[in-house]
Chain A
Amino acid sequence: MVKNNTLRTAPDKSGHFGPYGGRYVAETLMPLILAVEEAWNGAKTDQGFWDEFEGYARDYIGRPSPLYYADATTKHFTNGDKGAKIYLKRDELNHTGAHKINHCMGQILLARRMGKTRIIAETGAGQHGVATATVCALFDLPCTIFMGAKDMERQAPNVFRMKLLGAEVRTVKSGSASLKDAMNAALRDWVSNVHDTYYLIGTVAGPHPFPEMVRDFQSVIGKEVREQMMQREGRLPDTLIASIGGGSNAMGLFHPFLDDESVSLIGVEAGGLGVDTDQHAASLAGGKPGILHGMQSYFLQNEDG
């Protein structure tokens, strides 16, 4: 049930979540982004599209992923009559070893529906790159992955996997040579190849409709948790905890629970040396609103942006 005044109905027609989101992209890309939106609006209301997605989710990704009762962890954190029963949602057991495959499968089905013949993506640690390369191999589409030079060094096994799957991995050396710059490079490639290319964005980021789309594909996580908890415990969980980098797994887990007041949602960002230092990755806790990568959101930035 969707309540009135619910956060679950966002974004609005122009792709805003309150002041956030939107479409801050070069005009060259706007017609294409409007075409992605039109295709997505058609797909999301088409039962045939979701049947196809669910078929691949079951037979290729291996969904539903198990909900595991972590007995030892539960005991470890139990102190007298204080503590909680801890369950782990095992999305790392998906094909390719992460939740990223959920939105990759959904988006590549959309790209095929749009008749796109080339896929590009950015990747940080490489999980999204591996998942993208995998769905591209499945559907025999050429695939280019942009990855920061520093990340390629740190995550060499994933670079190897992507190449093994037939993807071209392009080294991004500009800026800080990490995920942010990989996304810049992918956007530049997209501007240069608007006619045949689909940009398969790897998190709840980018211009509308990407955040909504990635959220809706990832929501399979939260929907399963809801069903599995009802089966196991006969009630909803008290708390959901998710790690937040870009936010795709957290949004996927949280979104089906946004209207449940009894369920508290906790996102955990990387603290580094502490949010009061300049060596952390907590953009929500330590950042401020800004505009980057096609959207208004929270970013870590200096006073000049």
Chain B
Amino acid sequence: MSRIEHTFKALDRPALVTFITAGDPDYAASLKVLKALPDAGADIVEIGMPFTDPVADGPVIELAGQRALNAGASMGQTLKMVREFRANDQNTPIVLMGYMNPIFAYGIEAFAKDAASAGVDGLIIVDLPPEESADLQKAANAHGIDIIRLITPTTDEKRLKTLLEGASGFLYYVSITGVTGTVSADLSAIAPHIEMIKTHTNLPVAVGFGIKTPEDVKNMAKIADAVVVGSAIVQNIADLKNSANLDEVIAKQVKSLSSALK
């Protein structure tokens, strides 16, 4: 059983997924934050792979990528960070999220191999629709990595069937038509859509984009198997980037998000 599958099976409540950008504000601080997340209540950790042109992200995540890149982030550094985390944590699933170009530059097969050996469990590539994903899908699956597909408010039933082919791990429901960290989703608008999705698949459905507070988390947990918080955490990292106890402050934030699920 994969770590992702095991995590969802073991929980009797929706999972909390937290997002940080690798190497933000710098490698050492970012690794410290990453290591603090599971104990604070993150059930799954998403790590953003820094990219210069993140077109599906709002300004908060874009700036995080720039901070990381300015501090020397690279794909090699991101994988190194996962490896260092894995040395002390064998259970928490790690999902890398980002864009295709840095993977393409690294080499698709080399990336899948190195990511798997570092301890990556899943990939969310936001600019890679199923139509373009054959090569990465093949490489990732050969190394036991899940391709996590994005489903959006614009996904109809026909498109959903295309998206579900080859999907594994869980599904990521983008709750708004927009970029990360901007408006919040309207629960009543997305609930029927998620119900429709669940009639077509047994995969867990995580909901993300625009979820910021413990109250948002509590609301989304009513309809989702997992709730993703990203920009709210990354904004906190931006505000406190020079603070020596950054990891403690983020841990506190994640604790309050996670207590909304208990």
Contacts and interface: CB of A to CB of B under 8 A. Distances in A.
Interface of A: 14, 22-32, 174-175, 180-181, 184, 187-188, 191-195, 289-294, 296, 301, 303-305
B62 A174 contact: yes
Contact of A291 (B100, B106, B154): B100
B91 interface: no
Contacts of B55: 26, 184, 187-188, 191, 293
Interface stretch (B40-48, B127-135, B237-245): B127-135
A174 B177 contact: no
B127 A25 contact: yes
Main secondary structure of the interface of B (DSSP, over half): loop
A184 B127 CA distance: 12
A43 B163 CA distance: 28
B53 A184 contact: yes
A267 B127 CA distance: 30
The 8 closest A-B pairs by CB, nearest first: A305-B105, A192-B178, A28-B152, A305-B101, A27-B150, A26-B56, A305-B102, A187-B55
B195 interface: no
30 contacts: A23-B132, A24-B100, A24-B127, A24-B128, A24-B129, A25-B129, A26-B56, A26-B152, A27-B151, A27-B174, A28-B154, A28-B174, A30-B129, A30-B154, A32-B154, A181-B53, A188-B55, A192-B177, A192-B179, A192-B182, A193-B177, A289-B104, A290-B105, A291-B99, A291-B101, A292-B53, A292-B101, A293-B55, A301-B101, A304-B102
A304 B178 contact: no
Interface in B50-68: 51-53, 55-56, 58-59, 62
Chain B interface size band reads 35 or more
B262 interface: no
Given A32-B154, A180-B53, A23 B129 contact: yes
B249 interface: no
Given A304-B74, A304-B102, A305-B105, A31 B154 contact: yes
Contact of B127 (A175, A180, A291, A305): A291
A269 B93 CA distance: 47
B126 interface: yes
A304 B177 contact: no
Contacts of B177: 28, 191-195
Interface in B149-191: 149-156, 159, 163, 174, 177-179, 182
Nearest to A289: B104
Interface string B92-116: 0000000111101110000000000
A13 to B, nearest CB: 10
A303 B75 CA distance: 10
B149 A291 contact: no
Nearest to B209: A28
Given A28-B177, A31-B155, A174-B62, 18 more contacts: A23-B132, A24-B128, A24-B132, A26-B152, A27-B149, A27-B163, A27-B174, A30-B159, A175-B52, A188-B55, A191-B55, A191-B179, A192-B182, A290-B104, A293-B55, A294-B127, A301-B101, A301-B105
Contacts of A180: 53
